[in-house]
Structure 1
Amino acid sequence: MGRVLVTGAAGFIGAHVSQALLARGEEVVGLDNLNPYYDPALKEARLQALTGQAAPGAFEFHRLDLADTEGVLGLMAARPDIDRVVHLGAQAGVRWSLEAPFAYTSANVTGHLSILEGVRRSEGRIGHTVYASTSSVYGSRQDGQPFRETDRAERPASLYAATKLAGEMMSKSYTDLYGLPQTGLRFFTVYGPWGRPDMAYWLFTDAMLKGQPIKLFNEGRMMRDFTYVDDIVTGILAALDHAPAAGTHRTYNIGNSRPEQLLDMVAFLEEALGVKAERVLLPMQPGDVPGTFADVSAMKRDFGWEPVTDLRTGLGRFVAWWRRYFG
């Protein structure tokens, strides 16, 4: 068995996936540019945790921007032992895409294409590419029904969502043109230890412990299919281990399939932290959607995967990690 290339290896999900691969005896080539979208010290700490638990030579890290096409192609060509790709590197964040749009086309369009070209040029050596998409591609829905992979995804509500949808379309075209086996996973609101500081649960925890108010957009009447990171990781590995036939591109939802109100998340954090939140109710922000809800029956049917972590348990684990990390 060869090595797995994991892009975004210093990121929230990428570090967890790399750790899980190493734990089962895989060898990993990690790629990340450690950009300053949020504090790079957190990314460095994730990498230190990874290298600390890896067997000698099992984890190799390259600081590289996905939009550096020649650099990415050079790395993938120079490592003939790479036989699978888990492409998680991206510019995340719905709201920041309103302020820095070109960062999203650079990472999520050019960067995605860099990986596709690297896989194509491997001439079949790389047998499966699993890449991250997002529930945001479905756009805004008001009916409360679960999002299904067969639903039309043609009205993304943000530039971030549009760039991720572009990635899906590019992957599909590369499969049709060159026969690349690919699996796209549409993530639904991932949270947990080592998470991203721009996410609501992190912002709320930080503010509550400092005695500061928390901002609740849409007056807290947001529904989210909060998905614990360990469940996401088991889903990614399940998909990775079941490569489709050559010439097949497939897309799956990967979520908790149990949407909960933002106010419920606040209540669980209050319980775990022992702190009462001071709430500031605000209107909906541009680019945001009122609710998400994943139909994950295809993941269960094809891989036997289903989520096992409820929101209260997951947030309790996050708070325990926070206290260890920040002392």
Structure 2
Amino acid sequence: MSSFEMIQAAAQRLQGHARVTPMLTSPFLDEIAGRRVLVKAECLQHTGSFKFRGGWAAVSALSEAEKARGVLAFSSGNHAQGVAAAAKAHGVTAVILMPNDAPSLKIENTRALGAEVVLYDRAGGEDRDAIGHSLAKERGLTLIKPYDEPQVIAGQGSVGLEIAEQAAQEGVSKADLLVCCGGGGLTSGIALAVEQVAPGLRVRPAEPERFDDVTRSLASGQIERNAEVSGSICDAILTPSPGEITFPTLKRLCGPGIVITEEEALRAMALAFLRLKIVLEPGGAVSLAAALFHGDQVEGDAVIAVATGGNVDAALFQRAISSYA
């Protein structure tokens, strides 16, 4: 299990390597939301998403023997790039298992970072866990899971430490803190961090419709699974269910989830570009969409949204801009 002490240690290892990303605001977004909106721009992190933090935290914690054997990760793209970049910086071989329907930009970027990419058929029902464990055993690789991994969670928790400090600088000590959520690594890491340093911030997951497993799990009190594993433009946060490690933390610390539509994600992407001058991918925009379009479910005079990633194919970004800008 991850802990606040692990988050602090990961943050120390990340110093000088990860960017301290800005907290952005816009009066135009405030007007839409009906309250102050603070946007933590993790889309400006190395490799275009918060996943660099978890990748660096996990790779930097490996023993020398583990580094010599290499690492394996599976991801639709953002965790892949984060681990690939961290492995390259540490001189570690990286093999990345990616679904063949992942955005081409993410596959190309992962290869460009020096990783070996192995594709599998997610839509056809191939089991990435089975393939990944087989590859790890066959090649002696250390598996770095995308969210159900304590060191990864600790690295993502460093976002929470920064949010607490930046929110305080903005005079915000009590607010809903919305996080784009897949398996719950970032959400649980942030929740563990702010529990200690900013207890007035209530972490809440934001998810796309049809892939709202965390929202449903929080409502029922037990892990729920999605009926589908693909088929949404929010590819970065499509997971079968909350993690076995992350869910207990989510259940203990998080408020109710908020579910948004794909159209709302595209609108949020357009507004982020127009008003904040940042590029978001759909899965990285769902928290902002929740803040802007589901204000009736948000409490307080301010809301914080973590814009988690900006690795979007040009055609999809153009669709968002042309339709909603």
TM-score range (shorter-chain normalised) is 0.3 to 0.5
Of the two structures, which has the highest relative contact order with CA contacts closer than 8 Å and spacing of 6 or more? Answer: 2
Provide TM-score, normalisation by structure 2. Answer: 0.34
The higher radius of gyration belongs to 1
More helix by share: 2
Provide TM-score, normalisation by structure 1. Answer: 0.34
